[in-house]
């Protein structure tokens, strides 16, 4: 069981790192003037996206999965906080990602299978982690789209990788 948990931990951390890498590339293309601009009245600003991503990861992985106090104030994530700049927002999000990865690293098999209530939902630890990783990737994609649309720039997420490669035929089957 320990080997399976280690694979889950490593996979979740790798997916968080990949989304973080893409988010950094996207956010490097914008300055503080775009941070709090709404693309449409019903949409979140980039700053709100960053706040929301941080709040969700804090609630699901750091607090829920890691069993620390849940201090999330979700409604605050959707308000304009124009006193905060991009660097402050990215630093705060990075701190939360590090805390989430630490919670994953120090976890045990029981945490992955134990049921808990997070945001009113009954979830296993594995479901909580999967939700947070998926949520982070989803909003990273929204940020990337908004940045591409606003700047008219290719973000080069895989500029140094040949994405035309096909998968080698696996000789072994499971």
Condensed to tens digits (0 to 9), the pLDDT of residues 119-173 reads: 999 999 999 999 999 999 999 999 999 999 999 999 999 999 999 999 888 766 5
pLDDT in tens, 79-132: 888 888 999 999 999 999 999 999 999 999 999 999 999 999 999 999 999 999
Give the CATH number of the domain where residue 15 resides.
Answer: 1.20.120.450
Residue 91 forms part of a structural domain: yes
Residue 93 forms part of a structural domain: yes
Residue 157 forms part of a structural domain: no
pTM (predicted TM-score): 0.91
* Residue 20: Cβ within 10 Å count: 19
Residue 163 forms part of a structural domain: no
- Angular region, 54: left φ>0, alpha ψ -120 to 50, beta rest: alpha
Which of 96, 98, 109 is closest to 8 using CA atoms? 109
Task: Say if residue 174's pLDDT is above 60.
Answer: no
């Amino acid at each position: 069981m320990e080997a399976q948990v280690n694979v889950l931990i490593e996979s979740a951390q790798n997916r968080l790192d990949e989304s973080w890498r893409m988010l950094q590339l996207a956010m490097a293309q914008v300055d503080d003037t775009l941070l709090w601009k709404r693309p449409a009245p019903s949409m979140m600003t980039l700053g709100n996206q960053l706040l929301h991503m941080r709040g969700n990861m804090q609630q699901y992985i750091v607090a829920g999965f890691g069993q620390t106090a849940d201090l999330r104030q979700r409604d605050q994530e959707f308000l304009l906080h124009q006193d905060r700049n991009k660097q402050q927002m990215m630093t705060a999000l990075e701190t939360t990602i590090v805390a989430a990865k630490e919670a994953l690293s120090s976890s045990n098999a029981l945490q992955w299978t134990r049921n808990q209530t997070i945001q009113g939902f009954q979830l296993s630890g594995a479901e909580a982690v999967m939700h947070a990783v998926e949520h982070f990737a989803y909003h990273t994609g929204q940020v990337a789209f908004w940045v591409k649309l606003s700047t008219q720039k290719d973000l080069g997420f895989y500029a140094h990788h040949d994405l035309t490669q096909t998968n080698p035929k696996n000789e072994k089957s499971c």
